[in-house]
Amino acid sequence: MTPRELRQRGVDRPDVILVSGDAYIDSPYCGIAVIGRVLESAGYCVAVIAQPSLDTPDDITALGEPRLFWGISAGCVDSAVANRTALGKPRKSCDFTPGTVNNRRPDRATIMYCNLVRRYFKNTVPLVIGGIEASLRRIAHYDLQSSAIRRSILLDAKADILVYGMGEHAVLQIAHSLREQRDIKSISGTCVLAAEAPAGYRELASYEAVQSDADAFGEMFATFHKTALHQGAPGFFQQHGARFLIHHPPAPMLSSAELDRVHGLPFQHDAHPKCRADGEIRALATIRNSVTTHRGCYGDCSFCAITVHQGRSIISRSMESILSEVKHMASQKGFSGTIRDLGGPTANMYASGCELLSRGTPCQHRHCIGYEGICPKLVHGHGEQVELLARLRALPGVKRIFIASGIRYDLILADGKHGRAYLRQMVAHHVSGQLKIAPEHCADAVLRLMNKPSAAVTARFARLYREMAAAENQHIHLSCYVIAAHPGSTKQHMEEFVRFARSNLQFMPEQVQIFTPTPSTVSTAMYHCGRHPLSGEVVWSEKSSVGKQAQKDTLRAGREMRKETVRSRPAGGRRKKPSGSPWRS
């Protein structure tokens, strides 16, 4: 928002100013936009400052000081991940920055933006930090950039309160409390600092205790991970020097009806003209004609931060809400007829779960899905998804609907009632050239640490997919994501993946990334502690850049070998299989 836009609305001072490390895209895919629209729907005047310069006061002072609070977020991605590769090299491009050159978001963006506000607004209204960077760094955490345990970001940012998780309920309560001049120190879904530990809250080992003791850090993380990430979790406190970080219990989950209302807010599904004028925003091409069906993920992959931020419980929008959004999208000028993605963190978790998940109190003794298999109490949602997709295909103006979010193939295989029908519909109508899956590895020793399905499950799905694609006469393929140098993975394990890809997947993966230790994940705790924080099992991790790159290069060498084999095929004939090769013609 610009000063001119404020004047046009007759506003001399906004109630809330949100500061973001991303260009402003008014879409439910972007957290800042969701928080802004939710506050606006409650009657607050909200302004946004996108990617303010740190070198001058021009951007941060352009709209003046808000009446109630500043809301500060690094953006859709932790700035350490947005700005650095797994090997610590600067990333040159950014999909959320106009012009795509990655030169607008600072390292440790949440901290830097808080410092920027305090530099030009002394004794200002409260600073509220949120978004995934703040959420993952809310307690003492391992930081790859410094290769050390850092204290809660709330202290380093010198903010007044931290909102963790998705944040709608907590932010509204903060706004209401400040408007009514009430205290904001006891709001669910937030962290604050206090001089004393609160009665009835559970103690986590102090920052000083875990800073230089990996075993103590692992025990602290295990306590936090097992008990703090679900509805009904107790409050915690963690001492940092003379002060206490107070981690209040989670805010209530949104209901499906509330999620429908959020997605029914007047999003423009476009970038603000000021941001758009600065250059192409690549993320916009993907999310403009995409639809979110649900939030949350019970996959509980060890390396993934989604569960820590969104929770394990699936909150699905109603079919009518999704249909209404697509109808509106199809009526817009310039709509091509193609929905680029329909899904969520995992596309085929829509409408699935169990009674415990629906209450926000999942089992603590096992994972819902993963290496150990599918929990027998899990209720699949493929039947509802088949119905939803059929209804969407029948809408006027809708030509193609693609599912690009990725799917959990173990869920499809486990659903004897609707799994095959869902996959058949996917193959026939909803795959654009290739279907993305995420086995991540094939060595069962590594998959167990990742909490991913076994290699046998992956091979079984690959066979089924090829058979179904052939039966539907669809020339579509599988593609997959692979992680190199995950804790427990060695170069020999990556060589095993090359053999697995040749014989079972029948293609060599193109998308290989080196494991990045992000705060507050189980895999990061393994990486730092040298053991699994939940089981105590000793886990070796590759920590040298040379060793990490060597694991990634193993798959690259496999791809080059495959290309050489294809080039050796006689003109007009079938390729010759090298002696002993398990590849199929």
pLDDT per residue as tens digits for the range 140-170: 999 999 999 999 999 999 999 999 999 999 9
Count the domains in the chain: 3
Distance CA 64, CA 366 (A): 51
Q: List, in sequence order, every residue forming a beta bridge with 246; answer none if it has no partner.
A: 192, 237
The token duo for 44 is 């607050």
At residue 583 the predicted structure's pLDDT band, cuts being 50, 70 and 90, is: very low
pLDDT score of 562 more than 80? no
Distance CA 29, CA 290 (A): 9
Q: Can you give the pLDDT at residue 585?
A: 23
Give the mean model confidence (pLDDT) for residues 128-143.
Answer: 97
Express each pLDDT in 30-49 by its tens digit: 999 999 999 999 999 999 99
Q: Can you give the pLDDT at residue 270?
A: 93
Q: Can you give the pLDDT at residue 1?
A: 65
Does 452 map to a domain?
Answer: no
pLDDT score of 487 more than 60? yes
Does 321 map to a domain?
Answer: yes
Same domain, residue pair 413 and 531: no
Same domain, residue pair 12 and 125: yes
**Stronger pLDDT, 438 or 558, i.e. the higher one:** 438
Same domain, residue pair 94 and 172: yes
Does 28 map to a domain?
Answer: yes
Name residues whose C-beta falls within 8 Å of residue 514's C-beta, 6 or more positions apart in sequence. Answer: 85, 86, 87, 483, 484, 485, 548, 549, 551, 552
The SS3 call for residue 238 is: strand
Distance CA 321, CA 263 (A): 8
- 366 in Cβ contact with 534 (< 8 Å): no
Return contacts of 529-536, CB within 8 angstroms, 24+ apart: 529/214, 529/215, 529/217, 529/218, 529/221, 530/214, 531/215, 531/218, 532/449, 533/218, 533/219, 533/221, 533/222, 533/225, 534/222, 534/225, 534/226
The token duo for 31 is 């957290």
Does 155 map to a domain?
Answer: yes
At residue 581 the predicted structure's pLDDT band, cuts being 50, 70 and 90, is: very low
Continuous segment of H or E residues that includes residue 79: helix 79-83
Q: Can you give the pLDDT at residue 205?
A: 97
The percent of residues above 70 in pLDDT, for the chain, comes to 95
Q: Can you give the pLDDT at residue 566?
A: 39
Same domain, residue pair 480 and 356: no
Q: What is the CATH number of the domain that holds 115?
A: 3.40.50.280
CA angle 31, 35, 39 (to 5 degrees): 170
CA distances (Å), origin 119, targets 20, 55, 69: 17, 11, 16
The token duo for 486 is 């995950």
Which of 14-28, 240-254, 556-570 shows the lowest mean pLDDT across its residues? 556-570
pLDDT score of 476 more than 90? no
Residue identified by tokens 């209530």 is: 252
**Final residue belonging to a domain, choices 372, 404, 432:** 432
Same domain, residue pair 548 and 480: yes
- 97 in Cβ contact with 103 (< 8 Å): yes
Same domain, residue pair 71 and 146: yes
Give the mean model confidence (pLDDT) for residues 464-476.
Answer: 92
Q: Can you give the pLDDT at residue 580?
A: 32
Express each pLDDT in 242-269 by its tens digit: 999 999 999 999 999 999 999 999 999 9
Q: Which of 98, 84, 81, 89 is nearest to 22 (CA)?
A: 98
Report CA Rg, the chain: 24
DSSP 488: T
Express each pLDDT in 298-320 by its tens digit: 999 999 999 888 988 999 999 99
Amino acid identity, residue 377?
Answer: K
C-beta atoms surrounding 466 within 10 Å: 15
- 356 in Cβ contact with 362 (< 8 Å): yes
- 300 in Cβ contact with 312 (< 8 Å): yes
At residue 576 the predicted structure's pLDDT band, cuts being 50, 70 and 90, is: very low
Distance CA 489, CA 541 (A): 7
Strands 290-292 vs 294-295: parallel, antiparallel or unpaired: unpaired
Express each pLDDT in 270-307 by its tens digit: 999 999 999 999 999 889 899 999 999 999 999 999 98
Distance CA 32, CA 220 (A): 31
DSSP 349: G
Same domain, residue pair 372 and 480: no
The SS3 call for residue 148 is: strand
Does 510 map to a domain?
Answer: yes
Does 582 map to a domain?
Answer: yes
Same domain, residue pair 427 and 490: no
The SS3 call for residue 156 is: helix
CA distances (Å), origin 73, targets 287, 314, 344: 20, 24, 21
CA angle 346, 352, 353 (to 5 degrees): 110
Binding residues for [4Fe-4S] cluster: 297, 301, 304
581 alpha carbon, distance to own chain's centre = 39
Give the mean model confidence (pLDDT) for residues 563-576.
Answer: 42
Q: Can you give the pLDDT at residue 364?
A: 75
Q: What is the CATH number of the domain that holds 344?
A: 3.30.750.210
Does 216 map to a domain?
Answer: no
Distance CA 347, CA 349 (A): 6
CA distances (Å), origin 300, targets 49, 363, 402, 569: 34, 12, 25, 44
pLDDT score of 567 more than 60? no
Give the mean model confidence (pLDDT) for residues 532-558.
Answer: 93
The token duo for 423 is 């996959």
The SS3 call for residue 512 is: strand
What is the torsional sign of CA 15, 16, 17, 23? negative
At residue 507 the predicted structure's pLDDT band, cuts being 50, 70 and 90, is: confident
Same domain, residue pair 310 and 161: no
Which of 3-12, 56-65, 321-330, 515-524 shows the lowest mean pLDDT across its residues? 3-12
Average pLDDT, the chain: 92
Does 519 map to a domain?
Answer: yes
Binding residues: 297, 301, 304
DSSP 305: S
Q: Can you give the pLDDT at residue 568?
A: 42
Q: Is 406 left (phi over 0), alpha (psi -120 to 50) or beta?
A: left
Distance CA 119, CA 460 (A): 58
Q: Which domain holds residue 583?
A: 476-585
**Final residue belonging to a domain, choices 185, 206, 229:** 185
**Final residue belonging to a domain, choices 128, 156, 185:** 185
The token duo for 56 is 């001058």
pLDDT score of 575 more than 50? no
- The edge-to-edge listing of strands for the beta sheet with 477-484 is 434-440, 477-484, 511-514
Express each pLDDT in 46-73 by its tens digit: 999 999 999 999 999 999 999 999 999 9
What is the torsional sign of CA 456, 460, 463, 465? negative
Q: Can you give the pLDDT at residue 560?
A: 64
Amino acid identity, residue 140?
Answer: A
The SS3 call for residue 347 is: helix
Summarize the chain as % helix, strand, coil (round to 5): 35, 15, 50
Q: What is the CATH number of the domain that holds 579?
A: 3.30.750
pLDDT score of 564 more than 80? no
Q: Can you give the pLDDT at residue 555?
A: 87
pTM of the model: 0.93
The token duo for 187 is 């709001």
Name residues whose C-beta falls within 8 Å of residue 553's C-beta, 6 or more positions apart in sequence. Answer: none
Give the mean model confidence (pLDDT) for residues 350-376.
Answer: 88
Distance CA 433, CA 224 (A): 42
The token duo for 234 is 């107790």
Name residues whose C-beta falls within 8 Å of residue 509's C-beta, 6 or more positions apart in sequence. Answer: 479, 480, 481, 482, 501, 555
The percent of residues above 90 in pLDDT, for the chain, comes to 82
